[in-house]
Amino acid sequence: MTKKQLTAKAKKIKLLILDVDGVMTDGSIILDNKGNEFKRFNVRDGHGIKMIQRTGIKVAIITGRRSKVVDIRAKELGITDVFQRVFKKSAIYGELLGKYNCRDENAAFMGDDIVDVELLKRAGLSAVPADADEEAKKYADIVMKKSGGRGAVRELTDMILKASGLWEKVSGEFLV
């Protein structure tokens, strides 16, 4: 896909939907002896999410696993649409489109594995981290340069903001 085509798709985005493991994290699941789960989130990814939210673009999470850590991180980021332990993500995707009065072309989705293919095919703008599963990469509009949990989300949010002409609005206060 050309840069011009990606820009045209990115300009239409009103809703960003993210998977968690392998997208917002590096995919590692760390468990201690007591069964406590730990995940590592990238602070720049989080800042990209906050910047895109300030423009009015909604952000949601749909993930196949259930983790209290995800609830905590979502709350920190002000993400209220959090759906966990979802095997068939397309049903929730449809609910989100209805809730925010969007069509497929208004949704961006970032996933990383075969379970995400259905949404990668359906979303108006689909992206995967650099280290995504090869099967998922086949269906993405763009493969990010950065890996999951290592800046891939920020790379996507920056791309959407710049394509939409909203970058100056959210970055201007920092670049004075």
Mean pLDDT by 10 residues, the chain (176 residues): 87 97 94 91 96 96 94 97 95 97 97 97 98 97 97 97 89 70
pLDDT of residue 166: 87
Domains of the chain: 3-167 (3.40.50.1000)
- Of all helices (H) and strands (E), which one includes residue 37? strand 37-38
pTM score, two decimals? 0.94
Per-residue model confidence (pLDDT) at position 1? 74
Strands 30-31 and 37-38: antiparallel
Q: Tokens 């002409």 map to which residue? A: 165
